[in-house]
Chains A and B, each alone.
Chain A
């Protein structure tokens, strides 16, 4: 995609690059690997759970094994990428909520779609909530999954309870994950950011007006604090 011209900003003091760096190579590979593992997890879960797919696919022992191992491996890409400073910096940004995030959430509740009503730093409030919730939910799935996998570890009541939580949380995660993918499908430039690592300046200024990586770099070379 070609970056659109920027006629409304003719008086730049110097020629700014048209693209901004959004995600590092390590982050993008961690995302790819996580997406692949999560996809296999969801597909195998569907084949174990939905009668129509179970009848189509069968091979229960094999599908169970694939589901167990991809599930166990799901946190590995992100944990491995924790060695990347860019990922740790982004996790810091995802953790911090400011007043603009409350404003963003209120605008969503009011269905106010104007970009000016939805201020965001590098990640908007929805992305922050999604990241934190998905990370927690994945670990709950992992914990309850391990209780079902290694049946001798816990007494039966716990195992039945773990199955109950695993089943219902799977349904919830499936819906939220569909939302995550749906949002990405609706925003080609956001997808480009995750695919190539950079986004156009125009997109960043519209969707993430408070995110100014260059200004922050010149001010503090090693940290990118979020305004509060």
Chain B
């Protein structure tokens, strides 16, 4: 009898894996609806409860604000530059509304991001002809990312200052993060502090740990999610 309970649990687990796609659609629809009417926020703690999840690779991240935030642009450029938050805000802003897709599976639909096109900062710095890629570093002291120059010049790649029509908060990578709309969200480095133009792509933090460098949503990392752009 005990053996039957044991084997039954195993069987239910296997059945759960088989039935998961259907079950998941059901729970997502139900919890998504419940979360809209849940003042306690407890639904956010349930699996597939919707919304963003916080991932950081370091133990703590310093807080930066308009007073001490700096973004440097250097490397293979003619005019290296350092921007303050006010300096970035003074540049032309672009607003985009796209889905956010994480490589671990969660997706946040229709999320507005707003900021300066990366191509604008690159043009202002004067990229040299020998350059082929852009490397991004972060003030958490550990995270890094990179894009080819061609990817970095896309119109849907932003140095984002606002998300969901609010200034970027610290837990979402504020005051400034990268936003690479067509790629999995690990490419959108939080707490962006450095843009360095390089000759070739250097794999970033998660990419050294097995994730794809060219992280197009739906066409990389063995996943087939619906593209975000």
Give residues in A with beta carbon < 8 Å to B: 50-51, 54-55, 57-61, 94-97, 128-129, 131-133, 135-137, 139-140, 143-144, 151-152, 156-158, 160-165, 167-171
Q: Is the CB of A158 within 8 A of B58?
A: no
Q: Is the CB of B60 within 8 A of A58?
A: yes
The CA of A96 and the CA of B4, in the complex, are separated in Å by: 10
Q: Is the CB of A140 within 8 A of B46?
A: no
Question: B52: nearest residue on chain A (CB-CB)?
Answer: A51
The CA of A139 and the CA of B104, in the complex, are separated in Å by: 22
Q: How far is the CB of A46 from chain B (nearest CB, A)?
A: 10
Give residues in B with beta carbon < 8 Å to A: 1-10, 12-14, 16-18, 20-21, 23-24, 44-48, 53-61, 104-105, 171, 209, 222-224
The CA of A171 and the CA of B209, in the complex, are separated in Å by: 28
Contacts of B224 in A (CB 8 A): 156
The CA of A167 and the CA of B224, in the complex, are separated in Å by: 21
Question: B205: nearest residue on chain A (CB-CB)?
Answer: A61
Q: Is the CB of B21 within 8 A of A55?
A: no
Question: A136: nearest residue on chain B (CB-CB)?
Answer: B9
Contacts of B5 in A (CB 8 A): 128-129, 132-133, 136
Contacts of B61 in A (CB 8 A): 58
Q: Is the CB of A156 within 8 A of B53?
A: no
Question: A53: nearest residue on chain B (CB-CB)?
Answer: B54
Q: Which of A128, A158, A163, A165 has the most CB of B within 10 A?
A: A165
Known: A158-B17, A161-B20, A162-B17. A60 touches B222 (CB 8 A): no
Secondary structure at the B interface, as helix, strand, loop or mixed, is helix
Q: Is the CB of B20 within 8 A of A165?
A: yes
Contacts of A129 in B (CB 8 A): 2, 5
Question: B55: nearest residue on chain A (CB-CB)?
Answer: A60
The CA of A165 and the CA of B20, in the complex, are separated in Å by: 7
The CA of A124 and the CA of B24, in the complex, are separated in Å by: 36
The CA of A140 and the CA of B58, in the complex, are separated in Å by: 31
Name B2's contact: one of A57, A94, A151 (CB within 8 Å).
A94
The CA of A165 and the CA of B9, in the complex, are separated in Å by: 12
Contacts of B48 in A (CB 8 A): 164, 167
A to B CB contacts below 8 Å, 21 in the list: A54-B56, A55-B54, A55-B171, A58-B56, A58-B61, A60-B55, A97-B1, A131-B2, A132-B3, A132-B5, A136-B13, A137-B13, A139-B10, A139-B13, A144-B17, A151-B222, A156-B222, A158-B17, A160-B105, A161-B16, A168-B16
Q: How many CB-defined contacts (below 8 Å) exist between A and B?
A: 114
Contacts of B9 in A (CB 8 A): 132-133, 135-137, 140
Name A55's contact: one of B8, B17, B47, B56 (CB within 8 Å).
B56
Contacts of B209 in A (CB 8 A): 61
Q: Which of A57, A129, A167 has the most CB of B within 10 A?
A: A167
Q: Is the CB of A160 within 8 A of B55?
A: no
Q: How far is the CB of A225 from chain B (nearest CB, A)?
A: 15
Question: B10: nearest residue on chain A (CB-CB)?
Answer: A136
Q: Is the CB of A132 within 8 A of B223?
A: no
The CA of A29 and the CA of B146, in the complex, are separated in Å by: 49
Contacts of B53 in A (CB 8 A): 51, 54
Q: How far is the CB of B32 from chain A (nearest CB, A)?
A: 15
Q: Is the CB of B17 within 8 A of A59?
A: no
Known: A55-B56, A95-B1, A164-B48. A157 touches B21 (CB 8 A): yes
Q: How far is the CB of B191 from chain A (nearest CB, A)?
A: 12
Contacts of A152 in B (CB 8 A): 222
Q: Is the CB of A168 within 8 A of B47?
A: yes
Contacts of B47 in A (CB 8 A): 164, 167-168, 170-171
Contacts of A162 in B (CB 8 A): 17, 20
Contacts of A151 in B (CB 8 A): 222
Contacts of B45 in A (CB 8 A): 50
Known: A136-B10, A167-B47. A60 touches B56 (CB 8 A): yes
Contacts of B21 in A (CB 8 A): 157, 160-161
Question: A167: nearest residue on chain B (CB-CB)?
Answer: B47
Q: Is the CB of A97 within 8 A of B55?
A: no
Q: Is the CB of B7 within 8 A of A136?
A: yes
Q: How far is the CB of A168 from chain B (nearest CB, A)?
A: 5
